[in-house]
Structure 1
Amino acid sequence: MKLQGKTALITGSAKGLGKRAAAELARLGCDIVLNYRSSGAEADELARRLAQQYGVRATAVEADIADPGDTGKLAEEALKLSGSVDILVNNAGPFIRERRVFADYNDEEIISLLHGNLLGAMLLDRKLLPGMRRSGWGRIIHFGFGHAMEGRAWPHRAVYAAAKTGLVSFTKTLAVEEGEHGITVNMVCPGDIRGDFKEKSIADVDGMRDPDSPLGRPGTGEDVARVISFLCLPQSDFLTGNIIDVTGGFDPIRTSIKPVQP
């Protein structure tokens, strides 16, 4: 139980990659604060299962990371429930899968994407940094997308890409600023892991083929969760300010405009 005595808050963790990360950190002994926006039943069930399976404390808090007011509420609730938050995994972030050029977004969508993918993470970090500083130990993990560090053009994903590449710079800056306090800050950038694969293990996809993947197999939630858990270990304190692709070599960015299929 390498992280026993630590508490992790994982945003957007009722389902998908956040759920898989929560399970991996619980397996290492972390107490878990789950976060959800609308999937309350799933979050409560996951909390019950993690507590039963790993003997950790697990609770769930409702909050919308795209709402600036909710970030303060989430931080306060997490601290009230657990006493401290040692690990923060900023997984939640809205994404519009429909392909469209920037001119076709409305104001509300732009604001929601920026708040949910950049501002929400920054505000939550700021709320929880004082406690990490007091204890002299902390781990902050941001989520990006494959090749985010390169800051390339990504047609049809202008707002999402702008938010996440902004988060790249913030990750690196915060890592430098907080290193003296024993806090590491890194970004994990998943590849094109979709649907049920976000919660699958590596064993689940054994023998499966993915023609788009250079490795030949689909990516899974476990691939991402294993990187997160490694970065959170006490012995990983020399790793900070890193932007880590977990893509199997796949490049999700298409830099040229192609007709959008109706």
Structure 2
Amino acid sequence: MRHVLVTGAGSGIGREIALAFARRGEALTVADLHAEPLAETAALALDAGAPSCATTTVDLREADAPADLMRTAWSTAPVDVLVSSAGVYPATPFLDLDAHTWDRVLDVNTRAPVLLTVALARRAIEAGRPASVVNISSGAALRARPGAAPYSTSKAALEAATRASALELGPHGIRVNAVSPGFVTVDSRVNPVTDEYAAAVGDTPLGRRGTPADIARAVVWLAGGEAEWITGEVLRVDGGSSTGAWHLPQHWAATGQGEHE
């Protein structure tokens, strides 16, 4: 039995990740900004098979929050798996950006996962224990979107930090990877999206939007023993949406006879 810490576990992808580990009989610490949905996640996790599920409310915008959260989780039991799922993605036109908006997104989406990894690694190395980290990235790391300059930047930076930390922590037996979801339908009061936006980004080569369970299965696998020789990787779980501009019309005649020079 391992001890798994999941941030952003109050709803959506984070909650489903916690429940996926619970169904495997793992002990949990779940963290989120809001206490009420976090308590709901804990109750569901215990019903799903988790032997224990501690809850911690945390504001990851605070500089000391990652270290404090890891200290709290570790005091229950050494943390074997860290999943950084907490994230914010406000829609802000580029010309409306200010320092507060930029810093809020980068602090939660990039700085907090990095500092959580640092806090885990320090304790794991001191204890002589292996550990596995899975960061939740986004397709926005590869493709910018209107209104998402800080979000795209934060996820691109997170993927770079995933590789950098994997490089330095690998010799200590600590693996660091990321899962990059495509558009996933969730009910989030922190990060709501419009129906128009969902329709525009939710089309994939596999013909459907993603679900939190799609992402959770990938996270559980990547954090487990079957992936023990994988580190520094970004697993894109997006229904094929990152393969290219598949939905564009063909640029040659209907006969298929293109012209060549």
Q: Same fold (TM over 0.5)?
A: yes
SS in 2 for 1:239: coil
Report which of the two structures shows the higher radius of gyration computed on alpha carbons. 2
Residue of structure 1 equivalent to 2:220: 229
- Mapped pair 1:104 → 2:100: no
Q: Could you list the runs of 5+ residues in structure 1 that have no partner in the other structure?
A: 198-209, 255-262
- Mapped pair 1:116 → 2:108: yes
SS in 1 for 2:175: strand
Residue of structure 1 equivalent to 2:129: 136
The structural deviation recorded for 1:66 is 1.8
Contact 1:66 1:117 in 2 (8 A): no
Q: Which moved more, 1:13-22 or 1:53-62?
A: 53-62
SS in 1 for 2:64: helix
Contact 1:192 1:252 in 2 (8 A): no
Residue of structure 2 equivalent to 1:249: 240
Q: 1:235 to 1:153 in 2, by over 3 A?
A: closer
Residue of structure 1 equivalent to 2:79: 85
Structure 2 CA distance for aligned equivalents of residues 159 and 119 of structure 1: 13
Deviation per residue, 1:159-213 (Å, 9 max, x gap) = 111111111111111111111111111011111113249xxxxxxxxxxxx9822
The structural deviation recorded for 1:131 is 2.5
Q: 1:253 to 1:89 in 2, by over 3 A?
A: farther
- Mapped pair 1:37 → 2:33: yes
1:179-194 aligned within 5 A: 179-194=170-185
Q: 1:99 to 1:114 in 2, by over 3 A?
A: closer
Query: How many percent identity over aligned positions?
Result: 28
SS in 2 for 1:195: coil
> What amino acid maps onto 1:87 in structure 2?
V
SS in 1 for 2:204: coil
Structure 2 CA distance for aligned equivalents of residues 55 and 190 of structure 1: 25
Aligned residues: 232
Residue of structure 1 equivalent to 2:56: 61
The structural deviation recorded for 1:106 is 2.1
> What amino acid maps onto 1:109 in structure 2?
T
Structure 2 CA distance for aligned equivalents of residues 9 and 185 of structure 1: 14
The structural deviation recorded for 1:251 is 4.5
Structure 2 CA distance for aligned equivalents of residues 73 and 211 of structure 1: 37
Point out 4+ residue stretches in structure 1 off by more than 3 angstroms. Answer: 152-155, 251-254
Structure 1 CA distance for aligned equivalents of residues 244 and 207 of structure 2: 19
SS in 2 for 1:35: strand
RMSD: 2.2
Q: 1:72 to 1:136 in 2, by over 3 A?
A: closer
Q: Could you list the runs of 5+ residues in structure 2 that have no partner in the other structure?
A: 189-200, 246-261
Contact 2:19 2:44 in 1 (8 A): no
Residue of structure 2 equivalent to 1:162: 153
Give the alignment's TM-score, normalised by structure 1: 0.82
Structure 1 CA distance for aligned equivalents of residues 61 and 237 of structure 2: 25
The structural deviation recorded for 1:11 is 0.4
> What amino acid maps onto 2:85 in structure 1?
N
Structure 1 CA distance for aligned equivalents of residues 3 and 176 of structure 2: 16
Contact 1:89 1:142 in 2 (8 A): yes
SS in 1 for 2:241: coil
Which of 42, 49, 61 matches 1:47?
Answer: 42
